[in-house]
Amino acid sequence: MTTSSLLRSALRAGPAAACAAVLALAAPGTATAAAAHPGPMHRQHFDASSAHRFLVGFYGHRGPNRLHRTRDVTPELRRAAARTRTFDLLLCAQNTPVDIRVGRVVDSSFDRGRAQITTHWAGGRTQFFTAWVAADRYGTLRLSDVSCR
């Protein structure tokens, strides 16, 4: 089939087909690759195990370091943590715990999940809070919310 006959038949099929034909002719091989890739506007699904690995890496054994606090937290939560002056919002505490354990991730829906975080303190005291993980539009996991109840 010649280029002009391909374009004529694509135009008869409709504007979308004509656009696809032009793209295919302009850059062979890239139109199919572009169609197969969902692009940055489609959120990526993550499973419970990847969310759990993220939270374990984020909290470590004693709490998030400065890099995690800036790179791995949503901008909204980062602003809320900066406004909270009386305690560390990301740890739901005033001090650094002796150890941190991440529970099972639940509600791992399309782009959000949550897990119970257990902080262990000197003297055997424990505290619990919930940490929420979300995938941004590029599929990168970030800490998106913390519930200190």
Give the domain ranges of the chain: 3-36, 48-147
Strands 126-135, 112-120: pairing kind: antiparallel
**Quick one: pLDDT at residue 1?**
54
Q: How far is CA 133 from CA 11, 49, 55, 108, 118, in A?
A: 46, 12, 8, 9, 16
pLDDT, tens digit, 9 for 90 and up, residues 14-62: 555 554 554 454 444 444 333 344 444 444 567 889 999 999 999 999 9
What is the band of 111 on the pLDDT scale with cuts at 50, 70, 90? confident
Q: What is the mean pLDDT of residues 108-130?
A: 90
Write down the architecture of domain 48-147 according to CATH. Roll (3.10)
Is pLDDT larger for residue 56 or for residue 4? 56
pTM above 0.85, yes or no: no
Q: What is the mean pLDDT of residues 96-123?
A: 90
pLDDT at 11 over 90: no
**Quick one: pLDDT at residue 107?**
74
- Closest listed residue to residue 143, CA positions, set 97, 95, 88: 88
Supply the mean pLDDT for the chain: 80
**Quick one: pLDDT at residue 44?**
54
**Quick one: pLDDT at residue 43?**
47
Query: Residue 102 — φ and ψ, nearest 5°?
Result: -105, 125
Q: What is the mean pLDDT of residues 87-114?
A: 90
